[in-house]
Structure 1
Amino acid sequence: MKKFTLAAAMVALGCASASAADLAYTKAPVVAPVYSWTGCYVGATVGYRWGTSSVTAGSGFGAGLPITNDLNRMDGFTGGGTLGCNYQTGAWVVGLEGDFSGGQAKDSQGVLPPFNTTFIVSERQDWVATVRGRVGYAVNNWLFYGTGGLALTELKQTLLFTPSGATNSQSQVLSGWTAGAGVEWGFASNWTAKVEYLYTEYSRQNYFGPTAPLAGLWIDADLKQHIVRGGVNYRF
């Protein structure tokens, strides 16, 4: 009888130990993986840009005094590619990004009286490129960032003399600065989607001049634009 009782106690103790072990195992915390923003990536963007160009023309327009017209519809859709790299330390993410976007924006304006109204000034912009730094704060797979840097574009000026239909055109690459902010979402381990806004100002540039076919004519262009776009990136 004593042997039976001892054996039963040992079996009960073993079952209790096993149950306790199972309970401890099932209660072990599950640690969710932390999203990493470190790495280089390529991507594509699409969006819309709008802005104004303040065009100052002088001397060739009759009275010889400067006059400023605003081209208020330097607008158009834009799309292109992106290349960049990020490095994450803690919740902070720093990076460098470059992009190139195509898409036409153009507007024209007649010269106002009392100047020579037989002239029409027009501008056309076909591409925009930027090289920017980025600083952001990550909340797991969400990144909130600010960005800023260099902006480049090619702007073409055309003068149309309406009575004869004669034109004179000149293209130049303008440099300037850009700054903005955005939010990026990591929806997969290597894929992200973003929405961002950029404000861009280009340096005032002189066109034509004393050597132009219309002697003594000069034009300054001062282009400012806003860009809103979305994009998708693949990180290596």
Structure 2
Amino acid sequence: MATLLVTSISLAASMPTAASDLVSPATAGFVWTGGYVGLQVGHAWGDSYYGDQYGSFINFDPKGLIGGAYAGYNQQFGNLVIGAEADMNFSGIDRDRAAQVYDDGSSNDYHYGTGDVKWNGAIRARLGYAADRFLPYIAAGVAFAKYDVAFMHDEGDGAYAHWEGSASMTGWTLGGGIEYAATDNLMVRAEYRYSDYGNEKWNDPDWDSDLDVDLKTHDLRLGVAYKF
């Protein structure tokens, strides 16, 4: 009981100091070196093309909200800041329906498609220029996404042909943004990111068709992080 009491008193005494770390202004000549963890939210819109060997295609073009967490480390050399960062996000990027369009521009409303990005993430290198508490930066790296697609054709008389696939896609990402040290420990950011997740090829055994699906997204994100 005595140990528990002493521990509780020590913890209570440390709380004002911990709270002051979050609200105290950043010191002049803020140093960006250190690790950090944060949360982010944003909006993404994409280009996603489904095509087959017969010249028909669907533009899924999914869009929606994303949200997740990120963590990284910065090292400052004069005004130059280099770092590495990883993030993982749950995704609401999807599109429920799109008409099939042919090479001659005609469409067929009896064809339906869905594209649904379940999650995405990236591992990136960052390069920035520190202007005291402001850090404009660029970043590039490897991007990952779990993408589910489906395709359905109304053959009439209540009969449907259906195909669906799921893939963990890997590609690249490039973007930039600006970060601001609101306090010695609290950093906020806004950034734009372009990601190309490559394409996947499947074979539909029912129609004996080779299917090709790709995915690209544009993201606008806001984040807040705690610096150690």
TM-score scaled by structure 2?
0.79
Unaligned 5+ segments in structure 1 are 1-31, 59-64
CA distance in 1, matches of 2:58, 2:85: 35
Deviation, 1:213, is 4.3
Q: Name the residue aligned to 1:28.
A: none
CA distance in 2, matches of 1:46, 1:118: 36
Matched, 1:128 2:120: yes
Which residue among 40, 47, 52 is the counterpart of 1:52? 47
Matched, 1:224 2:216: yes
Cα pair distance change 1:217/1:116, threshold 3 Å: farther
Matched residue type, 2:56: I
**Which aligned pairs between 1:95-114 and structure 2 lie closer than 5 A?**
95-107=83-95, 108-112=97-101
Which residue among 71, 93, 98 is the counterpart of 2:81? 93
Q: Deviations over 1:88-119 (max 9, x none)?
A: 01011000000011122222323246797643
Q: Name the residue aligned to 2:170.
A: 175
Matched residue type, 1:76: G
CA-based RMSD = 1.9
Deviation, 1:84, is 0.3
Matched residue type, 1:127: W
| 8 Å Cα contact 2:199/2:215 also seen in 1 | yes
Q: Deviations over 1:104-150 (max 9, x none)?
A: 22223232467976432221112110100000000111101000000
Q: Deviations over 1:136-187 (max 9, x none)?
A: 0001111010000000101111122333355332100111111011000001
CA distance in 2, matches of 1:75, 1:115: 22
**Which aligned pairs between 1:71-90 and structure 2 lie closer than 5 A?**
71-72=60-61, 74-90=62-78
| 8 Å Cα contact 2:49/2:214 also seen in 1 | yes
The sequence identity of aligned pairs, in percent, is 29
CA distance in 2, matches of 1:71, 1:115: 14
CA distance in 2, matches of 1:220, 1:122: 14
CA distance in 2, matches of 1:233, 1:170: 36
Matched residue type, 1:129: G
Q: Name the residue aligned to 2:37.
A: 42
Unaligned 5+ segments in structure 2 are 1-26
Matched, 1:234 2:226: yes
Question: Per the alignment, in what secondary structure is the counterpart of residue 77 of structure 1?
Answer: strand
Name which one, 1 or 2, has greater alpha-carbon Rg.
1
TM-score scaled by structure 1?
0.77
Aligned pair count? 195
Q: Name the residue aligned to 1:7.
A: none
